[in-house]
Amino acid sequence: DRDLFRTIGHRWKLDAVLLPIGDLRTLGVSMGQMGPRRAPQALRLLGEPRVVVPTHYSGMTLRPFLSFGGTPRKLGEEIHRAELGAIVGTTRPLESVEI
């Protein structure tokens, strides 16, 4: 995804992005999906958009077999730690927002 994110960041000036932060885990082992800890790197590659809306961070959980480790709160903490100025916006299922 890094090359794709870099290309997107170079080609377009993004003000807002939807970013998957689920960090899906099976039996406690990460399945390689992006989580909050890797999100700041993705945001930098995407040109540091002002607004990030986290996606795919909750849903079906069958502990200990299947769980999501990422949360919007953790994303906000990682963005702050990385000294990025992005605002984290969240929505409820089926809710729409205007950016």
SS3 letters for 36-87? CCCHHHHHHHCCCCCEEEEECCCCCCECCCEEECCCHHHHHHHHHHCCCCCE
- The total domain count for the chain is 1
| Separation CA 55–CA 49 (nearest Å) | 16
- Classify residue 94: in a domain, yes or no: no
Q: How many CA atoms lie within 13 A of 69 on its CB side?
A: 18
Kindly report the pTM of this predicted structure: 0.84
Q: 74, 80 in Cβ contact below 8 A? A: no
Residue 96 within a domain:
no
Q: Show the domain range for 47.
A: 2-88
Interval 71-82: pLDDT, tens = 999 999 999 999
pLDDT of 39-75, one tens digit each?
999 999 999 999 999 998 876 667 677 777 889 999 9
Residue 72 has which token pair?
A: 């919007």
Residue 24 located in a structural domain: yes
